[in-house]
Structure 1
Amino acid sequence: MVEGRGEEVVGCLEEVGLLGAEIGDDVGDNKERGKKLDKGDDRSRGGRGRWQGWRVHASWAPSTLHYNAATANHLIAAYARHHQTPHAHQLFDEIPQPNVISFTSLMTSYNVTNRPDMALRLFGRMPALGVRPNSFTVATAIAACSRVGDVHSGVNLHALVETGGLRDDVVVSTALVGFYAKANYLVEARKMFDGMECGNVVSWGAMISGYAQSGDGRSAILLFSEFLGRDLRANHFMLSSVVNACASMGRLGLGKSIHGKVVRCWHEGNEVIEGALIDMYTKCGCFEYARKVFDRIVNPSLVVFTSIIVAAAKYGLAKLALDLFDEMVEKGVKPNEVTFLGVLHACSHGGLVDVGLGYLDSMNRLYGVVPGAKHYTCVVDMLGRAGRLDQAYEMSKNIEVTGDDELMLWSTLLSASRIHSRLDVAAEAGERLKEFNTDVAGAYMAMKNAYVSVGEWEGAMQVRSEMRRRGIRKEPGCSWVEIKDVPYVFRAGDVEKCSRGSEVMALLRDLEVKMEGRGYVTGSTKRYLIEEGKELDVTIGVHSEMLAIGFGL
């Protein structure tokens, strides 16, 4: 039990009007006090606005040696509301017979404080105590499965829902839609969604978000269009998902329309939407719009600052990205690991190698952010772009990474070695990548192109044969450009299917000649290999981005 603290308790009791309460006050009085604490009455706050309900509880809890469940539930809810989960759990353990509300309140508290595993443990204790979960309890357990990524338990809960007669409950159905959508089980999510007789804004938002996060922006936008015909009001969560869908498809015109709806719905000040808008305008080629969104924000949060820094880095505006970082620090906003990824990315594309190394060194020393695999990979890319391959190679060898992080690290080094024709480093990186069973088509293509770029045709043929032996195929890169609200899609090397392909290639060759005339060294747009008596076209340099830009010009 939470103990009292002398004079502090007396002062707090005076504030909330409970001083002088008799020891023998009945349970009803304590229940009313519990309601006050649950609602976060301002009188239960200290001088600095901090919630201090535990001090009030400490003063009168000993007077009720055996808690009434209703009284305790209000207290648990109060502790949960203010993220005092340890106190809530301690009180829960003192209840002789906790009921379904007790369990649900504490489970919710653990979900909110990022301990969904504890929420699931509590749910597992209910049958042994003879407590039957209600729809809110089941929905809370499903949310916990979603947070912890436990698909198996979530599916079992779905079975419980079907057999327990909760299938038509809107709270449970909404939770299941969100669970399947976050787990990327979109077919199952859509079945649950379509089976709801009266969906709410949460279920619609969960389904739209699921499509957007899985890269199916078209379905997200179509579903949102259907939502607009309903008598429901979009919340910030749904609007940010639609903005992200527009970003994934490069739909600038539609994105601007959604931005207008954000303003009309009074969600412009929401940091999640602001970050999504900055990202959307950035991906759609309108950094100036992204900057305008940022400049209208009075007190940018970490999310917003990070979004604009990453955006500036993507556009090669290294100085602006670093200036924004300095502004962020001056305003007392502490950077996180994503912020530093943007900063290092800016240094990489701006050629600021030593500056970038300085930021890497300062991450933990000044800001308490421990560099991770992605940060080191970015630095390896930075060193590689600057031609400091030996230093990049040494860093790659000394970093302890596994799995996909290791794959990305050595793929990055391989790409850098190709650019600078360092076949020795490329060979070492290639050997490391061969150890992976995942699709490494991009790495193999980089190895092949490295050999081709220096005229090592035999080595290129060997890589090609290895790819064919392992059944590895490289999916061509994809880019698009929107002209008069019509998106045009382009794939790397696919000149024949490119709109006005001959004109685009003629323009690109003309630009290449002009660039070389100004001292820029480019790779030839076409190389050829001879294999089994056939002349094979090897496209080097004709990326999907080049085709899109050429078409736009």
Structure 2
Amino acid sequence: MAGYINNGKPRVALRLFETMPKDQVLPNSFTFTTVINACSFLADVETGRKIHAHVEILGLKSDLVICTSLIDMYGKCNDVVEAWKVFDTMVYRNVVSWTSMIVVYVQNALGEQALLLFREFILFMSPNHFMLASVISACASLGRLVTGKVTHGAVIRRGYDGNDVVASSLVDMYAKCGCITYSGKVFRLIESPCVIQYTSMIVGAAKYGQGNLSLDLFQEMIERGIRPNDVTFVGVLHACSHSGLVDIGLEHLNSMYTKHGIVPGAKHYICAVDMLGRLGRLDEAYQLAQTISAEAKEVALLWGSLLSASRSHGRLDLTVEAGKRLLELKQQLAGTYITMSNTYATMGKWEDAHRIRSEMINHGIQKEPGCSWVEIKDLTYAFYAGGLSSCTRRTEILNVLRELELRMKERGYVSGSKGSVFVDVEEEAEEAIVGLHSEKLALGFSLISMPRGTTIRIMKNLRMCWNCHEAFKLISNIVQRDIVVRDLNRFHHFKDGLCTCKDFW
């Protein structure tokens, strides 16, 4: 069974397991561990449950190795509850079983739970490099730079800074927390970086608006004889897309198979559509979009990209077309309804705008609320669009934002002047809505809570709007602070009235 699994044939291993009773061979703990690993490989939770039942019947539920394998299997099948039940009922746990449960949380986007479990663990035992790498990955997913730095310190104290697995996690963590310089420093300390580490740096630089750095890293990688994979090319195309390097990006797309033997997939063509759309080459983007066959989620990404680009460049016909496609797919519904409604309003087609809004309400579809969060010391503070009702420093934050608004208006800033149409909202109400976007609330709180000169880092769950982007540029100059915002798509680093994205996002 182990041989079949190692050769990528886990289903054959499971069939072999089923024949054991016929030959009157009883499975032992090693057998169960092996066959559970086959279920993990296949993400086959139903077969995994049956094997788990066998383990219980044969009285092996206290076996450390079997339980650890079960945790891993349930985690890979996205059944966090069952993984926790196994972990919680274990008589004895070691660093491997604790690490497995932390990995389950990280893999299932439950970074906070992973960090809480890690804090509990270090009260009793010392972590190994696998656990530290998993904790660093949790910090990356949450954008928790302070906690990531503390964990990096633990890595250095325990002598794991030379470990490639840990180094890869650190490169990724710093990149996802908006510290591309730190990523580069860790990356350059790796003696023989592999394709994974190069890809992490390429993607990180791309999201930070440093497309040329991504391309330089890609070229360096090729010159060192490291073969890129399909994910590497997603990073390269992403870099070209976010830096306006569309022709260079198309050259790399065409070279994937001819130079590197990699057949471009749907993700690569989606990047190409995004590249063309961002630069305003919408007819080419539309023609390419119609030729791509992919799964529903990937098709939704494709038309969602075209929807955003068409809206930004004023191609209302394509905005409506892309919106209709997304509604047919029943994907990205809230954002699509709102964009289409606003597009019809821009065209003066108020009946259509109201019809779209009514459909949205009738289907019970609600827009995900904008949320931004900042990490100060070891605490995270979250803010939601439109309100500060539960914040004890509400008055201070609003006073800071009002003062900044006045100083921005002195420099010619007009709130809500581009790209935002709020149906049935008066001008002054619209301005209030934009003024209370979650990233502005997070910024106001950071300005009154953090020492002067400290870089402010804000994470946001949605795409940053044009109005806030213009405001943050001005504010960075007014308060003379670096402000880094990670939104849904990329990083924006505001400094001295400018942004690293060069207003191209």
SS of match in other structure, 1:480: strand
Find 2:3's aligned residue among 87, 109, 112: 109
Amino acid at match of 2:147: L
Matching residue of 2:498: none
Matching residue of 1:345: 238
d(CA) in 2 for partners of 1:327, 1:183: 38
Return the offset for 1:485. 3.5
d(CA) in 2 for partners of 1:438, 1:328: 37
d(CA) in 2 for partners of 1:550, 1:380: 37
SS of match in other structure, 2:374: strand
d(CA) in 1 for partners of 2:412, 2:27: 70
Matching residue of 1:503: 400
- The farther-off stretch of 251-260 and 313-322 is 251-260
Return the offset for 1:270. 2.9
d(CA) in 1 for partners of 2:270, 2:441: 28
In the TM superposition, what are the counterparts of 1:217-228 in structure 2 within 5 Å?
Answer: 217-228=111-122
Find 2:186's aligned residue among 279, 290, 293: 293
Matching residue of 1:176: 70
Higher relative contact order (CA 8 A, sep 6+): 2
Matched, 1:319 2:212: yes
Return the offset for 1:494. 4.8
d(CA) in 1 for partners of 2:232, 2:10: 27
Matched, 1:270 2:167: no
Return the offset for 1:504. 3.2
Matched, 1:205 2:99: yes
Bigger Cα Rg: 1
Amino acid at match of 1:471: G
Structure 2 length as normaliser, TM-score?
Answer: 0.80
Checking the alignment, whether the CA contact within 8 Å between 1:529 and 1:538 is kept in structure 2 is no
> CA 1:550–1:369 in 2, change beyond 3 Å: closer, same or farther?
farther
Matching residue of 1:139: 33
Matching residue of 2:342: 449
Checking the alignment, whether the CA contact within 8 Å between 1:384 and 1:413 is kept in structure 2 is yes
Find 1:523's aligned residue among 409, 418, 425: 418
Find 2:128's aligned residue among 225, 228, 235: 235
- The farther-off stretch of 452-461 and 189-198 is 452-461
d(CA) in 1 for partners of 2:405, 2:200: 32
SS of match in other structure, 2:424: strand
Deviations 1:146-180 (Å, cap 9, x if unpaired)?
Answer: 11011110111111111121111111111111111
SS of match in other structure, 1:230: coil
> CA 1:177–1:367 in 2, change beyond 3 Å: closer, same or farther?
same
> CA 1:462–1:494 in 2, change beyond 3 Å: closer, same or farther?
farther
Give RMSD over aligned pairs: 2.8
Find 1:460's aligned residue among 353, 356, 366: 353
Identity of aligned residues (%): 50
- The farther-off stretch of 242-251 and 359-368 is 242-251
In the TM superposition, what are the counterparts of 1:61-210 in structure 2 within 5 Å?
Answer: 107-210=1-104
d(CA) in 2 for partners of 1:402, 1:337: 17
Amino acid at match of 2:172: D
Matching residue of 2:362: 469
Deviations 1:253-292 (Å, cap 9, x if unpaired)?
Answer: 2111111112233322333322221221122222211111
> CA 1:345–1:522 in 2, change beyond 3 Å: closer, same or farther?
farther
Return the offset for 1:221. 0.9
Matched, 1:304 2:201: no
Checking the alignment, whether the CA contact within 8 Å between 2:345 and 2:421 is kept in structure 1 is no
5+ residue gaps in structure 2?
Answer: 448-505
Checking the alignment, whether the CA contact within 8 Å between 1:439 and 1:472 is kept in structure 2 is no
d(CA) in 2 for partners of 1:525, 1:430: 17
d(CA) in 1 for partners of 2:38, 2:418: 52
> CA 1:132–1:508 in 2, change beyond 3 Å: closer, same or farther?
farther
Matching residue of 1:74: none
Matching residue of 2:248: 355
Return the offset for 1:486. 3.1
- The farther-off stretch of 542-551 and 131-140 is 542-551
SS of match in other structure, 1:471: coil
> CA 1:488–1:452 in 2, change beyond 3 Å: closer, same or farther?
farther
Return the offset for 1:449. 3.5
Checking the alignment, whether the CA contact within 8 Å between 2:373 and 2:382 is kept in structure 1 is yes
> CA 1:489–1:128 in 2, change beyond 3 Å: closer, same or farther?
same
Matching residue of 2:499: none
Checking the alignment, whether the CA contact within 8 Å between 2:346 and 2:421 is kept in structure 1 is no
SS of match in other structure, 1:146: helix
> CA 1:143–1:542 in 2, change beyond 3 Å: closer, same or farther?
farther
Structure 1 length as normaliser, TM-score?
Answer: 0.74
Checking the alignment, whether the CA contact within 8 Å between 2:43 and 2:73 is kept in structure 1 is no
Matching residue of 1:478: 371
d(CA) in 2 for partners of 1:108, 1:162: 22
d(CA) in 2 for partners of 1:461, 1:402: 31
- The farther-off stretch of 538-547 and 367-376 is 538-547
In the TM superposition, what are the counterparts of 1:4-19 in structure 2 within 5 Å?
Answer: none
Matching residue of 2:148: 255
d(CA) in 1 for partners of 2:410, 2:359: 35
SS of match in other structure, 2:422: strand
SS of match in other structure, 1:348: helix
Return the offset for 1:196. 0.7
Find 1:491's aligned residue among 384, 388, 412: 384
> CA 1:356–1:509 in 2, change beyond 3 Å: closer, same or farther?
farther
d(CA) in 1 for partners of 2:437, 2:230: 31
Amino acid at match of 2:146: G
Amino acid at match of 2:129: H
d(CA) in 2 for partners of 1:371, 1:403: 18
Checking the alignment, whether the CA contact within 8 Å between 1:419 and 1:450 is kept in structure 2 is no
d(CA) in 1 for partners of 2:430, 2:351: 14
d(CA) in 2 for partners of 1:416, 1:497: 37
Matching residue of 1:47: none
> CA 1:431–1:375 in 2, change beyond 3 Å: closer, same or farther?
same
> CA 1:417–1:496 in 2, change beyond 3 Å: closer, same or farther?
farther
SS of match in other structure, 1:370: coil
Amino acid at match of 2:86: M
Checking the alignment, whether the CA contact within 8 Å between 1:363 and 1:369 is kept in structure 2 is yes
Matching residue of 1:284: 177
Checking the alignment, whether the CA contact within 8 Å between 1:377 and 1:409 is kept in structure 2 is yes
> CA 1:246–1:112 in 2, change beyond 3 Å: closer, same or farther?
same
d(CA) in 1 for partners of 2:433, 2:347: 15
SS of match in other structure, 1:487: strand
